[in-house]
């Protein structure tokens, strides 16, 4: 096949669950062109309603992972060649290993991010610090994860754009 499609699940696993029982707060599809090496990302909104369990009832897409782990989530998406699941801690460690990422925070993003940093530190046990201002910032892994989690000031569309931005910056750096 000239393309490979991989489902990417970012898990909110505060209780340590990595399969059924963990909500997938990030759902992306990565389409790789095997000939050119080009990778395209698209987000599946966690609030997308779909028949995820084959019984004719509709649920939010992020509940597929919760109900049946990666197998049910991949089945809900269909035509996926493979999958990868990761936790907040894994993303934070990966971005920190790359030396962090630079991005500009809007005033609204800055207003919310420090509370998310505190929660992400508490959930992962990885230390970090609050950001001092809006505008251009250098984010460590915890701060970058917190940026991708922001959802209170706008829409899921904007949230998924932030997630893709963090992933794209990390991929560019790698």
pLDDT tens-digit series, residues 135-168: 999 999 999 999 999 988 888 889 889 998 998 9
Nearest 5 degrees, angle CA 115-CA 116-CA 120?
120
> Which residues are registered as beta bridge partners of 85?
9
Question: How many Å apart are CA 48 and CA 122, to the nearest integer?
Answer: 29
Question: How many Å apart are CA 114 and CA 11, to the nearest integer?
Answer: 20
pLDDT tens-digit series, residues 3-50: 888 888 888 777 666 777 777 888 888 889 999 999 988 888 877 787
pLDDT at 28: 87
Question: How many Å apart are CA 102 and CA 27, to the nearest integer?
Answer: 23
What are 137's two structure tokens? 């910032």
SS (H, E, C) the chain: CCEEEEEEEEEECCCCCCCCCCEEEEEEEEEEECCCCCEEEEECCCCCEECCCCCCCCEECHHHHHHHHHHHHHHHHCCCCEEEEEEHHHHHHHHHHCCCEEEEECHHHHHHHHHHHHHHHHHHCCCCCCCCCCEEEEECHHHHHHHHHCCCCCCHHHHHHHHHHHHHHHHHHC
pLDDT tens-digit series, residues 93-108: 999 999 999 999 999 9
Question: How many Å apart are CA 48 and CA 156, to the nearest integer?
Answer: 10
pLDDT tens-digit series, residues 57-85: 888 888 888 888 888 888 888 756 787 88
pLDDT at 79: 59
Number of neighbours of residue 2 by Cβ within 10 angstroms: 8
Torsion sign over Cα 120, 116, 173, 132: negative
Q: How confident is the model at residue 91 (pLDDT cuts 50, 70, 90)?
A: very high
The pTM of the full predicted model, rounded to 2 decimals, is 0.74
């Amino acid at each position: 096949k000239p393309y490979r499609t991989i489902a990417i699940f970012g898990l909110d696993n505060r209780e340590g669950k990595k399969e059924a029982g963990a909500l997938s707060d990030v759902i992306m599809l990565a389409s790789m062109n095997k000939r050119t090496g080009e990778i395209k990302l698209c987000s599946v909104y966690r609030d997308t309603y779909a028949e995820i369990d084959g019984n004719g009832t509709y649920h939010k897409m992020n509940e597929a992972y919760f109900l049946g782990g990666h197998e049910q989530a991949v089945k809900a998406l269909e035509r996926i060649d493979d999958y990868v699941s990761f936790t907040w801690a894994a993303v934070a460690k990966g971005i920190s290993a790359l030396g962090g990422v630079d991005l500009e925070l809007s005033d609204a993003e800055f207003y919310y991010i420090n509370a998310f940093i505190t929660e992400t530190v508490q959930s992962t046990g990885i230390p970090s610090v609050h950001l001092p201002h809006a505008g251009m910032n250098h984010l460590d892994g915890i701060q970058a994860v917190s940026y991708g989690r922001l959802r209170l000031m706008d829409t899921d569309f904007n949230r998924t754009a932030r997630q893709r931005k963090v992933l794209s910056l990390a991929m560019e750096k790698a």
